[in-house]
Amino acid sequence: MESSVAVRDRGFGKTLRRDRWWVPPVSVALGLGLFGGYATWAVLQGGNYFADPYLSPLYSPCIAASCPEQIRLLGIEWWPFSPAILMMGVILGFRGTCYYYRKAYYRAYLLDPPACAVGEFRGDRYAGETRLPWVLQNLHRYFLYASIVIWLFLTYDTIHGFFFEDGFGVGVGSIVLLINLVLLSGYWFGCHSLRHLIGGDVDCYSCALAGKARHKAWKGVSWFNKRHMGWAWFSLVFVCMTDLYIRLVAMRVFEDPRLF
């Protein structure tokens, strides 16, 4: 006979699981730390984000007066810091309140829980998303609305990446920006809030206005939604790689190869 302590006891890390349950949360913590850290550094750095005609997606739209003339919008003069910080709130808010990322960081950083059927630190004080600050996760749809605007500018900047001083052309950077836009779009189209707003809130499609069209739209978003985690990771990694590529071209570490 063995002691009952390990069987019914509750406490951090207590589990009878024998697999390496700690691998996924550690991997997610490292991945989010690495790419989140790079993106934060790139946003705060404030230079080498434009290599004509490419604009780093982290700086899109570029609305401060310090932005290069070719891609400047609005030209806000009172902003002395990196122009990307102005848009960072929307991006951070959208990803930070995303239902997938919530799972990722609740598990990886807050260890709440660290993995399924594994004990955790807090006991009765747990309030989930019923109180501040986590109740603010309910604002996700507002960040979705704001991100539509950024997505439109990102689309414009991607198209801009195909127009060089001598006219239309395709460089490696143009392709990189296009892939980045596709990945970000895939992430955006799989948003749970979008899925709800576009048709998930309808119970009776044959009774609702444009019900069939809304059901089709809901089905389409559901396809992306099933793969939301994949889109979330690929888009996060690739947006950092796109920034790095443009940064290295802007720093003249190498020339952007022109395909035609």
Partner 1 sequence: MAERTFKVYRGSGDDGQLESYTIEVDQGMVVLDAIHRIQAEHAPDLAVRWNCKAGKCGSCSCEVNGRPRLTCMTRLSDYEEGESITVTPMKAFPVIKDLVADVSRAYRNNASIPRFRPRPRDAEDGWRMKQFEIERAQEMRKCIECFLCQDVCHVLRSHGKHAEFIGPTYLVRTAGYSLNPIDVEDRSAFLKESGGIGFCNITKCCTEVCPESISITDNAIIPLKERVVDRFYDPVKALVRLVRRR
Instruction: Decide: helix, strand or coil at residue 217.
Output: helix
Cα distance between residue 242 and residue 15, in whole Å: 41
Phi and psi (nearest 5°) for 91?
-65, -50
Q: Please report, for residues 9, 222, 255, the alpha-carbon distance to residue 172 in angstroms, rounded to integers and kept in the order given.
A: 57, 32, 10
Closest to partner 1 by CB, 18 vs 252, is 18
Task: Using alpha carbons, select from 256, 55, 62, 44 the residue that is nearest to residue 170.
Answer: 256
Q: Which is nearer to partner 1, 103 or 258 (CB)?
A: 103
Q: How far is the CB of 90 from partner 1 (least distance, A)?
A: 17
* DSSP 8-state secondary structure symbol assigned to residue 204: -
Residue of 48, 54, 44, 50 lying closest to 85 (CA atoms)? 44
CB atoms < 10 A from the CB of 26, how many? 12
CB of 166 to partner 1, least distance (A): 47
CA distance 40 to 241: 13
Q: Which residues pair with 51 in a beta bridge?
A: 54
In the complex, the smallest distance separating the C-beta of residue 111 from partner 1, rounded to whole angstroms, is 10
Smallest gap from Cβ 132 to partner 1, in A, equals 12
Q: Kindly tell me which of 46 and 119 has the beta carbon lying closer to partner 1.
A: 119
> CB of residue 202 vs partner 1: minimum separation in angstroms?
8
Pick 37 or 128: Cβ nearer partner 1: 128
Which CB sits closer to partner 1, 110 or 251? 110
Cis peptide before 257 (omega within 30 of 0): no
Residue nearer to partner 1 on the CB measure, 104 or 240? 104
Q: What Cα–Cα distance (Å) separates residue 207 from each residue in 113, 139, 200, 249?
A: 42, 29, 14, 55
Q: Least distance (Å) from partner 1 to the CB of residue 108?
A: 11
> Which C-beta is closer to partner 1: that of 19 or that of 77?
19
In the complex, the smallest distance separating the C-beta of residue 192 from partner 1, rounded to whole angstroms, is 5
Q: Which residues bind partner 1 (CB under 8 A)?
A: 1-4, 7-8, 10, 15-18, 99, 102-103, 106-107, 112-113, 116-117, 119-120, 122-124, 126-130, 134-135, 138-141, 192-193, 196-197, 200-201, 203-207, 215, 225-226
